[in-house]
Amino acid sequence: MHVEVVGAGSPLVLLHGWALHGGVFAPLVARLRDRFALHVVDLPGHGHSRDCGVPLTLQACAEAICAVTPPAAWLGWSLGGLVALEAAAASGQVRALAMVSSVPRFTAAPDWPHAVPPAVFAQFERDLARDYRGTLERFIALDTLGSPHGQDTLRTLRAMLFARGEPAPEALHAGLALLEASDLRHVLPGLGMASLWIAGARDRLVQPRGMQAAAALTPDGTFAQIAGGGHAPFLAQLDAVEATLVPFLQQAMDRPDPPARR
Protein backbone atom coordinates (compact mmCIF):
# COMPACT_ATOMS: atom_id res chain seq x y z
CA MET A 1 0.00 0.00 0.00
CA HIS A 2 1.33 3.42 -0.97
CA VAL A 3 1.99 5.74 1.98
CA GLU A 4 3.76 9.05 1.42
CA VAL A 5 5.43 10.62 4.46
CA VAL A 6 5.64 14.42 4.45
CA GLY A 7 6.77 16.86 7.13
CA ALA A 8 8.07 16.46 10.66
CA GLY A 9 6.56 16.30 14.12
CA SER A 10 3.86 14.18 15.72
CA PRO A 11 2.64 11.51 13.27
CA LEU A 12 -0.76 11.92 11.60
CA VAL A 13 -2.28 9.38 9.19
CA LEU A 14 -4.58 10.78 6.47
CA LEU A 15 -7.20 8.59 4.76
CA HIS A 16 -9.10 9.82 1.69
CA GLY A 17 -12.63 9.12 0.45
CA TRP A 18 -14.16 6.94 -2.24
CA ALA A 19 -12.78 7.17 -5.81
CA LEU A 20 -10.03 9.66 -4.91
CA HIS A 21 -6.52 9.30 -3.42
CA GLY A 22 -4.22 10.88 -0.88
CA GLY A 23 -3.47 13.78 -3.20
CA VAL A 24 -6.84 15.29 -2.29
CA PHE A 25 -5.26 16.36 1.01
CA ALA A 26 -2.58 18.52 -0.66
CA PRO A 27 -3.89 21.85 0.73
CA LEU A 28 -4.16 20.39 4.25
CA VAL A 29 -0.72 18.79 3.99
CA ALA A 30 0.79 22.14 3.02
CA ARG A 31 -0.70 23.70 6.16
CA LEU A 32 0.29 20.91 8.57
CA ARG A 33 3.67 19.67 7.34
CA ASP A 34 5.68 21.99 9.60
CA ARG A 35 3.96 20.60 12.71
CA PHE A 36 3.17 16.96 11.87
CA ALA A 37 4.74 14.00 10.10
CA LEU A 38 1.91 13.25 7.69
CA HIS A 39 1.43 9.67 6.51
CA VAL A 40 -0.74 10.17 3.43
CA VAL A 41 -2.34 6.88 2.36
CA ASP A 42 -3.70 5.74 -0.99
CA LEU A 43 -6.33 3.14 -0.11
CA PRO A 44 -6.31 -0.19 -2.00
CA GLY A 45 -7.42 0.13 -5.60
CA HIS A 46 -6.96 3.91 -5.52
CA GLY A 47 -4.11 6.13 -6.71
CA HIS A 48 -0.65 4.59 -6.36
CA SER A 49 -2.18 1.65 -4.42
CA ARG A 50 -4.23 0.55 -7.42
CA ASP A 51 -2.45 -2.81 -7.65
CA CYS A 52 -1.32 -3.25 -4.05
CA GLY A 53 -3.21 -6.53 -3.46
CA VAL A 54 -4.77 -5.59 -0.11
CA PRO A 55 -8.54 -6.12 -0.24
CA LEU A 56 -10.69 -3.04 0.30
CA THR A 57 -12.25 -4.20 3.54
CA LEU A 58 -12.18 -2.27 6.79
CA GLN A 59 -10.18 -4.87 8.70
CA ALA A 60 -7.65 -5.55 5.94
CA CYS A 61 -7.04 -1.84 5.32
CA ALA A 62 -6.72 -0.99 8.99
CA GLU A 63 -4.26 -3.82 9.58
CA ALA A 64 -2.18 -3.00 6.50
CA ILE A 65 -1.91 0.68 7.41
CA CYS A 66 -1.05 -0.09 11.03
CA ALA A 67 1.73 -2.37 9.77
CA VAL A 68 3.49 0.49 7.95
CA THR A 69 2.78 3.49 10.19
CA PRO A 70 3.81 4.33 13.76
CA PRO A 71 1.36 4.99 16.60
CA ALA A 72 -0.32 8.17 15.43
CA ALA A 73 -3.41 10.30 15.26
CA TRP A 74 -5.63 9.26 12.35
CA LEU A 75 -7.81 11.50 10.20
CA GLY A 76 -10.39 9.87 7.95
CA TRP A 77 -12.49 11.69 5.39
CA SER A 78 -15.77 10.10 4.21
CA LEU A 79 -15.00 6.43 3.36
CA GLY A 80 -11.57 6.85 4.94
CA GLY A 81 -13.31 7.56 8.22
CA LEU A 82 -14.70 4.04 8.33
CA VAL A 83 -11.18 2.64 8.02
CA ALA A 84 -9.90 5.02 10.68
CA LEU A 85 -12.74 4.08 13.03
CA GLU A 86 -12.06 0.37 12.49
CA ALA A 87 -8.39 0.90 13.35
CA ALA A 88 -9.27 3.00 16.40
CA ALA A 89 -11.51 0.24 17.73
CA ALA A 90 -9.17 -2.66 16.96
CA SER A 91 -5.66 -1.28 17.44
CA GLY A 92 -3.72 0.49 20.13
CA GLN A 93 -1.87 2.47 17.44
CA VAL A 94 -4.55 5.16 17.02
CA ARG A 95 -3.75 7.84 19.60
CA ALA A 96 -6.43 10.31 18.50
CA LEU A 97 -9.20 10.13 15.91
CA ALA A 98 -10.42 12.92 13.62
CA MET A 99 -13.47 12.14 11.49
CA VAL A 100 -14.13 14.60 8.66
CA SER A 101 -17.52 14.34 6.95
CA SER A 102 -17.70 10.73 8.08
CA VAL A 103 -19.97 8.64 10.28
CA PRO A 104 -20.05 5.05 11.55
CA ARG A 105 -23.07 4.37 9.36
CA PHE A 106 -23.70 6.19 6.06
CA THR A 107 -27.20 4.87 5.31
CA ALA A 108 -30.41 5.70 7.14
CA ALA A 109 -32.18 3.26 9.47
CA PRO A 110 -35.14 3.60 11.85
CA ASP A 111 -32.71 4.23 14.72
CA TRP A 112 -30.31 6.29 12.55
CA PRO A 113 -32.41 8.81 10.61
CA HIS A 114 -29.79 11.47 9.82
CA ALA A 115 -28.23 9.69 6.83
CA VAL A 116 -28.93 9.03 3.15
CA PRO A 117 -31.41 6.35 2.00
CA PRO A 118 -29.75 3.01 1.17
CA ALA A 119 -31.14 3.34 -2.35
CA VAL A 120 -28.70 6.18 -3.06
CA PHE A 121 -25.67 3.90 -2.95
CA ALA A 122 -27.55 1.08 -4.67
CA GLN A 123 -28.25 3.46 -7.57
CA PHE A 124 -24.60 4.49 -7.74
CA GLU A 125 -23.68 0.79 -7.93
CA ARG A 126 -26.02 0.27 -10.88
CA ASP A 127 -24.82 3.43 -12.60
CA LEU A 128 -21.18 2.44 -12.10
CA ALA A 129 -21.68 -0.66 -14.25
CA ARG A 130 -23.18 1.41 -17.08
CA ASP A 131 -21.20 4.66 -17.02
CA TYR A 132 -17.98 4.47 -15.05
CA ARG A 133 -16.64 7.98 -15.59
CA GLY A 134 -20.03 9.65 -15.53
CA THR A 135 -20.85 8.04 -12.19
CA LEU A 136 -17.60 9.27 -10.65
CA GLU A 137 -18.32 12.77 -11.94
CA ARG A 138 -21.82 12.72 -10.40
CA PHE A 139 -20.46 11.48 -7.09
CA ILE A 140 -17.83 14.18 -6.72
CA ALA A 141 -20.47 16.73 -7.73
CA LEU A 142 -22.44 15.59 -4.66
CA ASP A 143 -19.33 16.33 -2.60
CA THR A 144 -19.71 20.01 -3.41
CA LEU A 145 -23.48 20.58 -3.28
CA GLY A 146 -24.57 23.20 -0.80
CA SER A 147 -21.16 24.83 -0.40
CA PRO A 148 -20.90 28.51 -1.37
CA HIS A 149 -17.54 27.61 -2.96
CA GLY A 150 -18.95 24.48 -4.61
CA GLN A 151 -17.80 25.22 -8.16
CA ASP A 152 -14.22 25.88 -7.06
CA THR A 153 -14.19 22.69 -4.99
CA LEU A 154 -15.69 20.71 -7.86
CA ARG A 155 -12.96 21.92 -10.24
CA THR A 156 -10.33 20.90 -7.68
CA LEU A 157 -11.81 17.43 -7.23
CA ARG A 158 -12.18 16.91 -10.98
CA ALA A 159 -8.54 17.82 -11.50
CA MET A 160 -7.48 15.37 -8.80
CA LEU A 161 -9.80 12.49 -9.74
CA PHE A 162 -7.46 10.76 -12.20
CA ALA A 163 -4.23 12.54 -11.25
CA ARG A 164 -2.79 9.24 -10.00
CA GLY A 165 -4.48 7.06 -12.60
CA GLU A 166 -7.96 5.59 -12.64
CA PRO A 167 -9.13 3.70 -9.56
CA ALA A 168 -9.64 -0.03 -10.04
CA PRO A 169 -13.26 -0.88 -10.91
CA GLU A 170 -13.40 -3.64 -8.29
CA ALA A 171 -12.26 -1.17 -5.64
CA LEU A 172 -15.00 1.27 -6.61
CA HIS A 173 -17.62 -1.46 -6.21
CA ALA A 174 -16.10 -2.59 -2.91
CA GLY A 175 -15.99 0.98 -1.63
CA LEU A 176 -19.65 1.60 -2.45
CA ALA A 177 -20.53 -1.65 -0.70
CA LEU A 178 -18.71 -0.45 2.43
CA LEU A 179 -20.55 2.87 2.35
CA GLU A 180 -23.88 1.12 1.88
CA ALA A 181 -23.53 -1.70 4.42
CA SER A 182 -21.03 -0.73 7.15
CA ASP A 183 -22.32 0.01 10.63
CA LEU A 184 -19.67 0.67 13.29
CA ARG A 185 -21.90 2.40 15.83
CA HIS A 186 -21.29 -0.44 18.27
CA VAL A 187 -17.58 0.47 18.62
CA LEU A 188 -18.16 4.09 19.64
CA PRO A 189 -18.77 3.58 23.38
CA GLY A 190 -15.51 1.63 23.68
CA LEU A 191 -13.17 4.09 21.96
CA GLY A 192 -10.17 4.70 24.18
CA MET A 193 -8.97 7.94 22.63
CA ALA A 194 -10.25 11.46 22.10
CA SER A 195 -12.20 11.93 18.88
CA LEU A 196 -13.13 15.01 16.87
CA TRP A 197 -16.07 14.96 14.44
CA ILE A 198 -15.83 17.75 11.86
CA ALA A 199 -18.97 18.33 9.79
CA GLY A 200 -19.66 20.68 6.91
CA ALA A 201 -22.82 22.63 7.71
CA ARG A 202 -24.05 22.27 4.12
CA ASP A 203 -22.93 18.67 3.54
CA ARG A 204 -25.54 16.76 1.47
CA LEU A 205 -23.89 13.34 1.86
CA VAL A 206 -23.12 13.24 5.59
CA GLN A 207 -25.58 15.19 7.69
CA PRO A 208 -24.11 17.20 10.56
CA ARG A 209 -26.78 15.83 12.91
CA GLY A 210 -25.52 12.33 12.20
CA MET A 211 -21.97 13.33 13.08
CA GLN A 212 -23.17 15.07 16.22
CA ALA A 213 -25.05 11.92 17.23
CA ALA A 214 -21.94 9.81 16.63
CA ALA A 215 -19.76 12.13 18.74
CA ALA A 216 -22.29 11.89 21.57
CA LEU A 217 -21.93 8.08 21.60
CA THR A 218 -18.18 8.23 22.30
CA PRO A 219 -16.62 8.65 25.77
CA ASP A 220 -14.45 11.61 24.69
CA GLY A 221 -15.94 12.93 21.49
CA THR A 222 -16.16 16.54 20.30
CA PHE A 223 -18.42 17.75 17.51
CA ALA A 224 -17.46 20.75 15.37
CA GLN A 225 -19.42 22.25 12.49
CA ILE A 226 -17.74 24.24 9.72
CA ALA A 227 -19.96 27.10 8.58
CA GLY A 228 -20.54 27.00 4.84
CA GLY A 229 -18.71 23.67 4.52
CA GLY A 230 -19.78 20.94 2.14
CA HIS A 231 -18.55 17.35 2.06
CA ALA A 232 -14.90 18.37 1.59
CA PRO A 233 -14.48 21.31 4.01
CA PHE A 234 -10.67 20.93 4.07
CA LEU A 235 -10.67 22.32 0.53
CA ALA A 236 -13.00 25.32 0.53
CA GLN A 237 -12.91 26.06 4.28
CA LEU A 238 -9.28 25.17 4.96
CA ASP A 239 -8.71 27.96 7.49
CA ALA A 240 -11.66 26.86 9.62
CA VAL A 241 -10.68 23.19 9.45
CA GLU A 242 -7.09 23.98 10.44
CA ALA A 243 -8.24 26.15 13.35
CA THR A 244 -10.45 23.31 14.61
CA LEU A 245 -8.15 20.38 13.93
CA VAL A 246 -4.73 21.56 15.12
CA PRO A 247 -5.61 22.40 18.76
CA PHE A 248 -7.42 19.07 19.06
CA LEU A 249 -4.43 17.13 17.73
CA GLN A 250 -1.92 19.00 19.87
CA GLN A 251 -3.92 18.37 23.03
CA ALA A 252 -4.77 14.76 22.19
CA MET A 253 -1.19 13.81 21.29
CA ASP A 254 0.00 14.98 24.72
CA ARG A 255 -2.09 12.26 26.36
CA PRO A 256 -0.84 8.73 27.13
CA ASP A 257 -1.28 6.13 24.41
CA PRO A 258 -4.69 4.41 24.54
CA PRO A 259 -4.88 0.72 25.49
CA ALA A 260 -5.31 -1.90 22.78
CA ARG A 261 -8.94 -2.72 21.87
CA ARG A 262 -10.73 -5.96 20.96
Please provide the distance, in angstroms rounded to a whole number, between the alpha carbons at the two ends of the chain.
24
Question: Which residues are the active-site residues?
Answer: 78, 203, 231
Q: What is the pLDDT of residue 109?
A: 96
In the chain, domain spans? 3-252
| Extended strands (E) in 7-141 | 10-15, 36-41, 72-77, 94-100
CATH superfamily of 3-252: Alpha/Beta hydrolase fold, catalytic domain (3.40.50.1820)
CA 2, 55, 194, 75 torsion: positive or negative?
positive
**Burial (CB count <10 Å: 0-12, 13-18, 19+), residue 260:** exposed
Write out the chain's pLDDT in tens, 262 residues: 999 999 999 999 999 999 899 999 999 999 999 999 999 999 999 999 999 999 999 999 999 999 999 999 999 999 999 999 999 999 899 999 999 999 999 999 999 999 999 988 888 888 887 887 787 777 777 666 555 655 777 777 778 888 888 899 999 999 999 999 999 999 999 999 999 999 999 898 899 999 999 999 999 999 999 998 888 899 889 999 999 999 999 998 876 654 444 4
pTM of the model: 0.92
Contacts of 249 (CB under 8 A, 6+ apart): 10, 12, 36, 73, 96, 98
Give, in order, the Cα–Cα distances in Å from 239 to each of 195, 206, 224.
20, 21, 14
Q: What is the secondary structure of 144-189 as a DSSP string?
A: HTT-TTHHHHHHHHHHHHTBTBPPPHHHHHHHHHHHHH---GGGGG
What is the C-alpha to C-alpha distance for residues 29 and 193, in angstroms, rounded to an integer?
Answer: 23
